[in-house]
Amino acid sequence: MDIIFLHSLKIDAVIGIWDWERKIRQTVEIDLDMAADIRKAAETDDVADTLNYKLVAKRLQAFVGESEFQLVETLAERVAAIVTDEFGVPWVRVRINKPGAIRGARDVGVIVERGVRPRQD
């Protein structure tokens, strides 16, 4: 199994359950690990033969930036669906951090894995 990753993607969004959180934008940080077979791209050296992580990042920046979810769990589920459904990724691990959400903690968040994790050969 090959993994293409995109880590520390920072996006400002309305996220949270408290009234004050619904009035501001907070930064969420997203890490993605995405299953991909990169052999053809390695042979051809052509971006058309691989998962274009720039396109994934742009799509998520637009989606998350416009979102107004209450729960990080909901956001993680929607991000996973975008990656698997729109980009044809068979397995994805999504980690979403909400830095500063808990006093005394660097960050808090969730990790979800969706799809069928490919075998490691």
| Residue 15 · residue 75 · CB < 8 Å | yes
From the list 35, 34, 32, 36, the residue with the least C-alpha distance to 9 is 32
Given the residues 10, 23, 58, 98, select the one marked as catalytic: 98
What is the DSSP code (8-state) at residue 117?
A: P
Tokens in use for 19?
A: 């009234």
Tokens in use for 86?
A: 């729109």
Using CA atoms, how far apart are residues 52 and 47, in angstroms rounded to an integer?
7
- For the question of residue 23 being annotated catalytic, the response is no
- H-helix or E-strand spanning residue 40: helix 39-44
Just list the catalytic residues: 98
